[in-house]
Amino acid sequence: MKKIIIAIDGPAGSGKSTTARLVAQKLGYIYIDTGAMYRALTLKVIELGINPNDESLITKIAENTKIELLYENGNLKVILDGKDVSEKIRSPEVTSLVSIVSAHPKLRDIMVKKQRELGRNGGVVMDGRDIGTVVFPDADLKIFMTADVRERAKRRQKELKAQGFDVEIEKLIKEIEERDKFDSTREIGPLKKADDAIEIDTTNLTIDEQVEIVLKKAYELI
Ligand code: C5P
C-alpha cells in the first residue's frame, strides 16, 4: 500500500488535531501536531523570560531545542528537552503568546525543516496552518477544516474545563478570532486554504463523521 502524506490545516478549534490523530491511528501512520511544536517552543520562551518579539534570540533557542512527539495509548505526549510538557503547552498563557512567537520567519524556517524531516518517508498525517501550502505543498491529500467560531469556542471551553480552567464563551470567541486574524495575516506561512485542499465545515459534524470523510478520501489514494 502506498504511504501518503495527508495535510490538515485550519483555524483554531476546527477539529483538525482530533481528526488527524484518529485518521493516523486508523491508517497506522504517524501523526504530527505542528501546533504542539510551536506551543512547546513558546513555553520555553516564557520559562526563560525571553521577549516573544525577540526573533534572533528565539531562533537561536529553537536551533538548540529538542521537541519530541510521542504516543502513549493513543494520546500525544510532548517532550521538550527531555521533559513532559503535554499539559503545560495547552495553558492560556502559552495560547495567548504562541501566535506572536510562531510568526517569526527565521523561526518558521527551522520548524518547517524539522516538520519536513519528520514527514519525509510518507505515512504521515500532519496538522497545522501551513502544511498544505508551505511544509508539504505536494501532499497527496490536503484538507482544510473550518467551523463556526461559536462552535469552536464551545469546543475550546470544554477542553479548558477538563484542564480545570473556567473561561467565558464570549472571551474565548474573542481570543480565537484574534488568534486566527494574527495567524492569517502574518507574512510567512499564514493560515490559508491551499487551492487544491478539500474544505470540510465541521460545525455540525461529529468527530466520527469528520474522520470518516478524511479516511474515505485517503483510501481513494492508497
Ligand atoms: O493548532 P494549535 O491551535 O495548537 O496551534 C497553536 C498556534 O501555533 C497557532 O495559533 C499558530 O500561531 C501556530 N501554528 C503555526 N503553524 C502551524 C501550526 C501552528 O504557526 N503549522
Tens-digit pLDDT profile for residues 44-66: 999 999 999 999 999 999 999 99
Say what the pLDDT of residue 110 is.
97
Q: What is the pLDDT of residue 165?
A: 87
Work out the pLDDT band at 111, boundaries 50, 70, 90: very high
Give the number of the atom of ligand 1 that is nearest the alpha carbon of residue 186. 20
Looking at every residue in the chain, the average pLDDT score rounds to: 96
With a 6 Å cutoff on the Cβ, whether 156 touches ligand 1 is: no
Ligand 1 centre and the CA of 203: distance in Å?
20
The fraction of the chain above a pLDDT of 70, given in percent, is 100
183 lines ligand 1 (CB under 6 A): yes
Compute the distance from residue 3 Cα to the ligand 1 centre, in Å: 25
| DSSP-based three-state secondary structure for 143 | strand
Residue 199 near residue 144 (C-beta atoms within 8 A): yes
The count of other CB atoms within 10 Å of the CB of residue 198 is: 15
Residue nearest to ligand 1 atom 10, measured at CA? 99
Name residue 146's beta-bridge partners.
201
Q: Taking the C-alpha atoms of 13, 16, 22 and 25 in order, what is their torsion angle to the nearest 10 degrees?
A: -130
Compute, in angstroms, the gap from residue 1 CA to the centroid of ligand 1: 31
| Ligand 1 mutation target, pool 183, 185, 191, most atoms within 8 A of CB | 183
Provide ipTM, 2 decimals. Answer: 0.99
pLDDT at position 160 is 87
pTM: 0.96
**Distance from the CA of 38 to the center of ligand 1, in angstroms?**
6
Q: Exposed e or buried b for every residue in 86-118, given b needs 16+ CB within 10 A?
A: bebbbbeebbebbbbbbbbeebbebbbebbeeb
Judged against a pLDDT cut of 90, whether residue 21 lies above it is answered with yes
Binding-site positions for ATP: 10-18
The alpha helices in 28-142, defined as continuous H runs, are 34-47, 55-63, 92-102, 105-119
Poorest-pLDDT segment among 12-21, 41-50, 155-164: 155-164
- Ligand 1 pocket member 210 (CB < 6 A): no
d(CA 157, CA 153): 6
For the chain, percent helix, then strand, then coil, each to nearest 5? 50, 15, 30
User: Cα(217)–Cα(142) distance, rounded to whole angstroms?
Assistant: 10
Judge if the beta carbon of residue 39 lies within 6 A of ligand 1.
Answer: yes
pLDDT digits (tens, 9 = 90+) for 65-77: 999 999 888 788 9
Residue of 102, 124, 146, 191 best suited for mutating to test ligand 1, as the one with most atoms within 8 Å of CB: 102
Query: Residue 102 contacts by C-beta under 8 Å, 6 or more apart in sequence?
Result: 38, 41, 42, 108, 111, 183
- Contacts of 47 by beta carbon, 8 Å cutoff, 6+ apart: none
